[in-house]
Amino acid sequence: MKEKRTLRIYFENDQNAVPVTYHLKLLVRHAVLATLAYEHVTGHSEVSVTFTDNEGIRKLNKRFRGIDSETDVLSFPLFEDGPGGADFGHMLGDIVLSLEKCRAQAEEYGHGFDRECAFLTVHSTLHLLGYDHVNSKEEEADMRRRQTAIVEGMGLGVGEKA
């Protein structure tokens, strides 16, 4: 029997740059679920997603990473090595997404806002599951391969304008 996968996302909107629509929330949910499925994570998972703007993410980047510049997405895993102990189930952590940066990068890279938001959500969810890309070229290539496979599996390949 296939084990069930459930997900609860706690959304917060801390910006006014881009409207947070029901469609956007469903897209983010789909991206998290697609990542969990790709990584064979079953059972119940929880994540919080905060939508912010460039100034909001710059402040968080400075506070938590010591980098005084805007970025596109930040991940705050609850456990250093991915989902942890039985007492917590799969409480993964927090995703902070700059919708302003997402919109700009979608234009810069020549694809749609949905594809960029999905890509960044997948990227961040992989971080919550313990993946990283800063320690070696091999880790970076592995994470890039996973991100591409997941986003393409969602029907949002590089050429998609959704």
From the list 109, 104, 90, 101, the residue with the least C-alpha distance to 39 is 90
Q: Residues 66-118: pLDDT tens digits?
A: 999 999 999 999 876 554 444 445 889 999 999 999 999 999 999 999 999 99
Give the whole-angstrom CA distance, residue 12 versus residue 50. 5
Dist CA 76 CA 97 (whole Å)? 12
- In this prediction, residue 89 carries a pLDDT of 58
- Among residues 110, 148, 156, 98, the alpha carbon closest in space to that of 126 is found at 148
Structural domains present in the chain: 5-153 (3.40.390.30)
What is the torsional sign of CA 24, 26, 29, 34?
A: negative
Rg (CA), the chain: 15
20 class by beta-carbon count within 10 Å (0-12 exposed, 13-18 middle, 19+ buried): middle
Specify the pLDDT at position 1: 56
Residue type, 67: I
**In angstroms, rounded to a whole number, what is the distance separating the alpha carbons of residues 82 and 90?**
9
DSSP bridge partners of 43: 5
- Residue 2: the pLDDT is 66
For the beta carbon of residue 108, count every other beta carbon within 10 angstroms. Answer: 10
pLDDT of residue 70: 96
What does each C-alpha distance from 147 to 38, 85, 86 come to in angstroms?
Answer: 10, 26, 27
Q: What does the pLDDT average to over 140-160?
A: 87
Give the Cα-Cα-Cα angle 44, 49, 53 (nearest 5 degrees): 170
Of residues 5 and 22, more confidently modeled: 22
- How would you classify the pairing of strands 90-98 and 73-77? antiparallel
Task: Tell me the pLDDT tens digit for each residue of 11-52.
Answer: 999 999 999 999 999 999 999 999 999 999 989 999 999 999
- Alpha-helix runs per DSSP H in 1-112: 22-38, 54-65, 99-109
Determine the pLDDT at residue 85.
Answer: 43
pLDDT, greater one: 134 or 110:
110
User: What's the pLDDT at 87?
Assistant: 42
